Amino acid sequence: MKVLQEYLEALAECASIAPPQRQERLLLSYAELRFQRKGGGRCAICQTTVRHVLRVRAEREPGVVLEYACLCHRCLQAERALSTRVVLSLGQAQVTYHGNLPALLPDVN
Ligand SMILES: [Zn+2]
């Protein structure tokens, strides 16, 4: 099974990659494996077909959290622009992106 072999190769390669990229790479490899076995999904916002089905949790501001079963690349980029934090997950694997907006509150360190 070619896709499983690619996933295992990605796991092996990831040992030498820095943690943030490693998590992203593993998540996408896992999503690709799922696509090959179960097919893709549809974007929760625009209904576009999506290859890599990843749950999206977007934190817009304190207390405002939006969750989507799946988003297309374009809608995901829009959420990243509007959110302070976006978490993609598939099973136990997850990747966190910090949004493009400046933090609403200054860091207190
Ligand atoms: Zn979309």
pLDDT in the model for residue 26: 85
**33-36-90 Cα angle (round to 5):** 40
Distance CA 106, CA 50 (A): 36
How many angstroms does the Cα of residue 48 sit away from the middle of ligand 1? Answer: 6
Q: Give 44 or 20, the one with higher predicted confidence.
A: 44
How many angstroms does the Cα of residue 95 sit away from the middle of ligand 1? Answer: 19
Q: Which stretch of DSSP H or E encloses residue 64?
A: strand 64-68
67 band by pLDDT with thresholds 50, 70 and 90:
very high
The string of pLDDT tens digits covering residues 18-40 is: 877 888 888 888 899 999 999 99
Give the position of tokens 């943690």. 19
Question: Mean pLDDT across the chain, nearest whole number?
Answer: 85
pLDDT in the model for residue 100: 60
pLDDT in the model for residue 104: 46
How many angstroms does the Cα of residue 50 sit away from the middle of ligand 1? Answer: 8
Least confident span in 2-6, 38-42, 59-63, 67-71: 2-6
Q: Which stretch of DSSP H or E encloses residue 12?
A: helix 2-14
How many angstroms does the Cα of residue 5 sit away from the middle of ligand 1? Answer: 30
How many angstroms does the Cα of residue 56 sit away from the middle of ligand 1? Answer: 12
